[in-house]
Amino acid sequence: MTSREWLALSVPLAPALAAIFVCVAPRRAVSPVGLASACVSALVAGALAAVALARADDPVTGDWLVVDAAAGLFVGVVGVVGLASAITSIAYLGSAETGLVRPERGPRLYWGAFLAFWAVLAAVPLAGNLGVAWLLIEATTAASALLVGFSGKARALEAGWKYLVLTSLGLGVALLGIVLLAPSVSGGLGGLSWSSLASIDGDSERLTVAFVLLLAGLAAKVGWAPVHNWLPDAHSEAPPPVSALLSGALLPAVLVVAWRSDRALAPAVGENLAASLLVAFGLVSLAFAIPFLWRALAWKRLLAYSSLEHMGVLALGLAFATPLAMAGVVVHVVGHALAKALGFYAATPLLSHAPSAASRPATGIGRTSPALGASLGISLGTLAGLPPSPLFTSEVLIIAGGFQAGRTWEAAAAAALLALGFLGLGHALLETIAGRTHRRAPGSPVGLRTVIALTAVATVALLALTAAAPWLPGSDIVDALLETS
């Protein structure tokens, strides 16, 4: 095995071992051990991301493991969001209660499940085999469903159960697609590697049905409409640090598996069908999200429907598959992860400052807590695509990529839908910052200092991403992604 392969194996191994350590650590050491382990896990993930992106033109591909530009990009996102979620988990656990276990066992349960979820999640982009990727995605469901219902409240338990059932049902449909592929592959499970699928040969009608089932099943986990029903409840009921991982890391990680499947099977089912199916999911997701973005929603629920919109944007970028569109995808993945995670982290001090924000829109926060209002504003302004947001740049690149690919009406429809989404989120931004104020809880909001520090870091990173975006088309990273597609 090469050094990159050993490094790739250590990415999920580090948090997996940490989950074991947390389970046996003394009670008072659970949170410090969890946080220290998260730092190590993030360092390993960052190292692999740097190596994979630096050597984007020389990927490692095998029947079980792949270390390429896509893997580096998504593993890096998991590492960054995972570390920030671990940091903000300290403040969350200091003020939260769980009805699942006795209070003194809550931190151990949380950190064990959190690190186990991280371990499986980090392995998903590295899977070089469709069968292994499916198993890993199913494992993320088991690990994260417990975290969604961590509070033990009725709504949280319902959201966790709904998430478990609906995503497992979707993955069952994807498994049926894999079963239909089986007669056309040889070599057992190894025949489901991405390289083997690219050279598959067989009954075209059966392969087409298998492809549609596979992508439709994975869509349930990505959160594409119309199979996104679990997403709003799970994101709004999970602990804020877990919501950040679900939206900023899990959805894109499963998206890369859907994209690899799409590209691997495109020669067998036809390039037009493969791209058109992604376009359909993208446009339908945008259309479904807009009515909810125009409604007055509780903060975390608003962010959840924003995830539906942004996963649709990424589907369009991957379908267009031009240098401009792929550069937009890179910027969008990173920018969305940073902004969305920041928004969920800010939910902890927000609910401390304005408890009513758990069930109704947060308004006037900029007047009653300017620092918290700034964090909410930067997050929502970035997600809305307000310049100089990198998501504004990425959306322009993706739409331009659509025209470049000759998909004129699809690109025009996406531009119109994004404009409507911007209006909805723009109104929510104004109301959140400068709207009517309500009675606020006395005292300093829980975890506000941590969120302020993360806001400063995220702001610098987002502006740097905007500055780097024009240089990405034609870069080694984008060229490597285009070769994959």
Question: For 252-293, how does the pLDDT look when each residue is reduced to its tens digit (9 = 90+)?
Answer: 999 999 999 999 999 989 999 999 999 999 999 999 999 999
Give the start-to-end residue ranges of the domains of the chain: 270-485
* 99, two tokens: 């009805």
Q: What is the pLDDT of residues 58-98, one digit of tens each?
A: 999 988 999 999 999 999 999 999 999 999 999 999 887 78
DSSP state of 66: E
Cβ-proximal residues to 368 (8 Å cutoff; 6+ apart), any chain: 353, 354, 437, 440
CA dihedral of 420, 421, 425, 427, whole degrees rounded to 10 = 10
Q: What is the DSSP track for 259-304?
A: HHHHHHHHHHH-HHHHHHHHHHHHHHHHHHHHHHHTS---HHHHHH
CA 87 to chain centre: 18
CA distance 179 to 73: 30
Q: What are phi and psi of 480, to 5 degrees?
A: -65, -40
Q: Are 193 and 127 in contact (CB under 8 A)?
A: no
Tell me which residue of 87, 265, 84, 292 sits closest to 192, measured CA to CA: 265
pLDDT for position 439:
67
pLDDT for position 189:
80
pLDDT for position 190:
79
Q: Residue 209's CB: how many other CB atoms inside 10 A?
A: 15
Name 249's bridge partners. Answer: none
pLDDT for position 243:
96
DSSP state of 203: -
* 103, two tokens: 């209070």
Cβ-proximal residues to 278 (8 Å cutoff; 6+ apart), any chain: 215, 259, 262, 315, 316, 318, 319
Q: What is the pLDDT of residues 319-351, one digit of tens each?
A: 999 999 999 999 999 999 999 999 999 999 999
Q: What is the DSSP track for 225-249?
A: TTS-THHHHHHHHS-HHHHHHIIII
Q: Could you state, in chain order, the average pLDDT of each consecutive group of 10 residues for the chain (485 residues)? A: 90 96 90 95 97 93 93 97 97 83 86 96 96 96 91 91 94 95 80 88 83 96 93 93 96 96 92 94 97 94 96 97 97 98 96 88 91 96 96 98 96 97 96 83 81 97 96 93 80
Kindly report the pTM of this predicted structure: 0.96
Cβ-proximal residues to 439 (8 Å cutoff; 6+ apart), any chain: none
Q: Residue 189's CB: how many other CB atoms inside 10 A?
A: 15
Stated as kind and residue range, the H or E segment containing 67 is strand 66-67
What CA–CA distances, in Å, run from 408 to 399, 402, 405, 413, 414? 9, 7, 8, 9, 10
